[in-house]
């Protein structure tokens, strides 16, 4: 199969798309086919008389000027003719046509290519060096054929112009497949570094030195570590890490790069069980962020999965928070901060409804958005009052939203949250100190069970734990000596004492019943020496650089994803209002 690639116009023509959608609905309702007579004559010329009559009739129905409807009808007619020609070409020559939505600042030229030449020809003829190609919310793999990845006739794909940071220089400019493979590898450099950094973190358990080897812990909304299978935990950490990197890029307005990371995060979330995804809101927030990138890149209608992602986000929020957010209220005591997610959700739903030509639904969604915005937009004077008390801008904004603008309640809430956060940090430090203490005792040669017991008796103090362990060892040595005095060998004696919990009498009976030996099936597994390979790898210079690099994008506050200033949202609200006002005025 071969492909012809044509460039799309910017799909963010909101007003034009709105009118096109309305006209297409009328054409479908009336069963009119513009590519046939009498609307298209021989030579593919328009049937002016019938086209004008149709434009005037639809203009009355839509309360719009007939001249504007006539232009829209001609655009739809030409699109239908081109589609028919491409279908015929595909049947006769197996030459498929796909459409690319190219970045606004690159050359928009038709590209003819075979199935392996997509990246090569985009780089050469469109003038891009670092890019990704997205189809239905997934990044195309340059090493596979296009048809193997679901690319077919009339597929619409988006080309993302990604940052050249970390991208090595090309070895040649001849457009060879080898060069394309090299560029494709370079394009993945940033995502791969992020992926590897979080992979290192996902494999750590906190048993190494906490000062030199940071690790990540998956916790619930109360800060308690979640007990989940290792494979799912690893996938979850990778997904959350790539998501945070994407969000950091979104804040810097680098939506192309952000979308690449967010789509990779989506792949890793799919490796987690549905039960886990249904219990956390991270997955819903990710879907929302992906669609927000679509609108920022002016490509909402290029990828058809935007609506599906918004549906997934809404379902996720309803499961996590409850139909009336009652579950959220029970866990956190308030619901105000999470309402910014619903504001962004309804805003994107309003935009999609308008693009689909459904003005009524778009207005309904926008009305909800404006109500939420009025409630959530921070009052400058109240913000100042809280900041004078020593609270940060972030704390003031989130506190006021949680308490619906009540300054006194917000101050109390922030103070209580600070105290709870200090308690959480204290518990985390205690857990980390315990893990570090166990590692130290294990390195000194103590068995894991003995080390844990000693550390518990010493209330986490490693020095005292050593004394407890030494005393325990002396007691054990005394018991061992009794068995040796009775004539048993040292190794079976130690094994018997380990099996009987140090009970000399039971150990003696066990040895006598088995002629001085311990059955192999009953022998406890030997304590493995603590491995140092992972920690040494984690402390090596390249790994440290990767970990430190990805940790820079991890927010210090767990509610960072809720701290939206709503400035971008206000711009989109005004844009939709302007278009809706014009449309409704007709």
Give yes or no for residue 541 having a pLDDT over 70: no
Residue pLDDT, tens place only, 212-252: 445 566 665 555 666 778 788 888 888 999 999 999 999 99
146 SS3 class: coil
Give yes or no for residue 270 having a pLDDT over 80: yes
Task: For residues 351-379, give the mean pLDDT.
Answer: 94
Q: Which residues pair with 46 in a beta bridge?
A: 40
**pTM for the predicted model, two decimal places:** 0.73
Give yes or no for residue 127 having a pLDDT over 50: yes
Range from 58-67, 88-97, 214-223 carrying the lowest mean pLDDT: 214-223
Using alpha carbons, select from 191, 157, 188, 186 the residue that is nearest to residue 171.
Answer: 186
Average pLDDT score over the chain: 78
Secondary element (H or E) of residue 58:
helix 48-62
Give yes or no for residue 183 having a pLDDT over 60: no
Contact yes or no for 572/347 (Cβ under 8 A):
yes
Contact yes or no for 159/133 (Cβ under 8 A):
yes
% of the chain beyond a pLDDT of 70: 74
Burial of 585 (0-12, 13-18, 19+ CB in 10 A): exposed
What band does 423 get if pLDDT is binned at 50, 70 and 90?
low
State which of 217-221, 390-394, 487-491, 522-526 shows the largest mean pLDDT.
390-394
Q: Which residues pair with 219 in a beta bridge?
A: 225
Burial 46-64 (b: 16+ CB within 10 A, else e): bbeebbbebbeebbeebeb
Count the neighbouring beta carbons within 10 Å of the beta carbon of residue 301.
21
Count the neighbouring beta carbons within 10 Å of the beta carbon of residue 209.
13
Give yes or no for residue 255 having a pLDDT over 50: yes
What was the pLDDT predicted at 448? 65
CA 169 to chain centre: 29
Using alpha carbons, select from 274, 252, 250, 273 the residue that is nearest to residue 262.
Answer: 250
Any idea of the CA torsion for 496, 502, 503, 504, to the nearest 10 degrees? Answer: 70
What was the pLDDT predicted at 153? 84
- Long-range pairs for 144-153: beta carbons < 8 A, 24 or more residues apart: 145/115, 145/116, 146/1, 146/3, 146/98, 146/115, 146/118, 147/1, 147/115, 151/3, 151/96, 151/98, 152/96, 153/86, 153/87, 153/90, 153/96, 153/97, 153/98
What was the pLDDT predicted at 415? 86
What was the pLDDT predicted at 170? 35
CA distance 481 to 485: 6
At 226, list the tokens: 């979640």
What was the pLDDT predicted at 302? 62
What was the pLDDT predicted at 223? 56
Give yes or no for residue 316 having a pLDDT over 80: yes
What band does 210 get if pLDDT is binned at 50, 70 and 90?
very low
What band does 538 get if pLDDT is binned at 50, 70 and 90?
very low
Give yes or no for residue 107 having a pLDDT over 60: no
Q: What helix, strand, coil percent values describe the chain, rounded to 5?
A: 65, 5, 30
What band does 310 get if pLDDT is binned at 50, 70 and 90?
very high
Using alpha carbons, select from 276, 309, 274, 267 the residue that is nearest to residue 290.
Answer: 309
CA distance 556 to 365: 33
What was the pLDDT predicted at 322? 81
Task: For residues 289-313, give the mean pLDDT.
Answer: 85
Range from 41-55, 148-162, 527-541, 565-579 carrying the lowest mean pLDDT: 527-541
State which of 223-227, 253-257, 500-504 shows the largest mean pLDDT.
253-257
CA distance 358 to 202: 45
* Sheet of 131-135, strand order: 111-114, 2-7, 95-101, 156-161, 131-135, 138-139
Task: For residues 307-311, give the mean pLDDT.
Answer: 93
Strands 131-135 and 156-161 come out as antiparallel
* CA dist 52 → 22, 43, 295, 303 (Å): 17, 19, 34, 33
Task: For residues 418-447, give the mean pLDDT.
Answer: 71
CA distance 362 to 345: 12
Task: For residues 478-504, give the mean pLDDT.
Answer: 70
Task: For residues 61-85, give the mean pLDDT.
Answer: 93
Residue extents of the structural domains in the chain: 1-83, 95-161, 186-334, 446-518
What band does 150 get if pLDDT is binned at 50, 70 and 90?
confident
% of the chain beyond a pLDDT of 90: 31
Contacts of residue 448, defined as CB under 8 A and 6 or more positions apart, other chains included, come to 438, 442, 527
CATH fold for the domain made of 95-161 = Ubiquitin-like (UB roll) (3.10.20)
Contact yes or no for 133/122 (Cβ under 8 A):
yes
């Amino acid at each position: 199969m071969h492909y012809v690639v044509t460039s799309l116009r910017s799909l963010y023509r909101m007003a034009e798309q709105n009118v096109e959608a309305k006209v297409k609905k009328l054409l479908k309702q009336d069963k009119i086919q513009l590519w046939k007579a009498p609307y298209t004559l021989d030579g593919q010329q328009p049937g002016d008389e019938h086209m004008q009559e149709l434009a005037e009739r639809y203009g009355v129905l839509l309360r719009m000027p007939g001249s504007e409807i006539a232009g829209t009808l001609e655009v739809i007619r030409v699109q239908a003719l081109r589609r028919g020609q491409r279908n015929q070409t595909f049947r006769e020559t197996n030459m498929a046509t796909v459409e690319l939505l190219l970045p606004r600042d690159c050359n928009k030229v038709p590209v003819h290519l075979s199935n392996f030449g997509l990246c090569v020809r985009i780089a050469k003829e469109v003038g891009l060096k670092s890019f990704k190609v997205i189809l239905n919310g997934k990044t195309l793999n340059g090493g596979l054929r296009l048809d193997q990845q679901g690319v077919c006739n009339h597929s619409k794909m988006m080309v993302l112009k990604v940052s050249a940071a970390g991208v090595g220089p090309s070895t040649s400019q001849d457009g060879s497949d080898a060069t394309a493979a090299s560029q494709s590898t370079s394009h993945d450099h940033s995502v791969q570094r992020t992926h590897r950094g979080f992979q290192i973190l996902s494999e750590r358990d906190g048993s190494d030195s906490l000062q030199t080897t940071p690790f990540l812990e998956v916790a619930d909304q109360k800060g308690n570590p979640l007990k989940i299978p290792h494979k799912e935990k690893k996938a979850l950490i990778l997904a959350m890490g790539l998501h945070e990197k994407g969000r950091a890029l979104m804040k810097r307005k680098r939506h192309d790069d952000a979308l690449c990371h967010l789509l990779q995060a989506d792949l890793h979330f799919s490796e987690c069980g549905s039960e886990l995804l249904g219990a956390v809101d991270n997955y819903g927030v990710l879907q929302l962020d992906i669609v927000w990138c679509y609108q920022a890149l002016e490509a909402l209608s290029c990828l058809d999965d935007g609506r599906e992602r918004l549906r997934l986000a809404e379902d996720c929020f309803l499961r996590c928070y409850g139909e009336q957010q009652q579950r959220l209220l029970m866990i956190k005591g308030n619901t105000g901060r999470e309402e910014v997610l619903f504001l962004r959700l309804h805003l994107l739903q309003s935009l999609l409804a308008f693009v689909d030509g459904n003005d009524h639904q778009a207005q309904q969604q926008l009305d909800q958005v404006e109500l939420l915005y009025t409630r959530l937009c921070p009052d400058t004077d109240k913000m100042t009052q809280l900041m004078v008390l020593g609270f940060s801008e972030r704390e003031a904004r989130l506190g006021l939203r949680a308490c619906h603008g009540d300054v006194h309640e917000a101050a109390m809430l922030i103070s209580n949250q600070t105290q709870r956060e200090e308690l959480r940090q204290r518990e985390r430090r205690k857990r980390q100190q315990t893990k570090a203490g166990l590692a130290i005792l294990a390195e000194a040669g103590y068995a894991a069970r003995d080390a844990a017991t000693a550390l518990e008796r010493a209330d986490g103090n490693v020095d005292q734990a050593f004394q407890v362990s030494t005393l325990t060892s002396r007691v054990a040595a005394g018991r061992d000596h009794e068995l040796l005095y009775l004539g048993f060998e040292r190794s079976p004696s130690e094994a018997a004492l380990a099996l009987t919990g140090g009970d000399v009498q039971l150990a003696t009976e066990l040895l006598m019943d088995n002629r001085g030996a311990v059955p192999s099936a009953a022998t406890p597994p030997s304590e493995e020496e603590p491995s140092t390979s992972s920690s040494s790898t984690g402390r090596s210079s390249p790994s440290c650089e990767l970990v430190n690099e990805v940790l820079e994008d991890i927010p210090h506050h767990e509610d960072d994803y809720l701290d939206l200033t709503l400035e971008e949202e206000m711009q989109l609200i005004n844009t939709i209002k302007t278009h809706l006002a014009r449309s409704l005025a007709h």
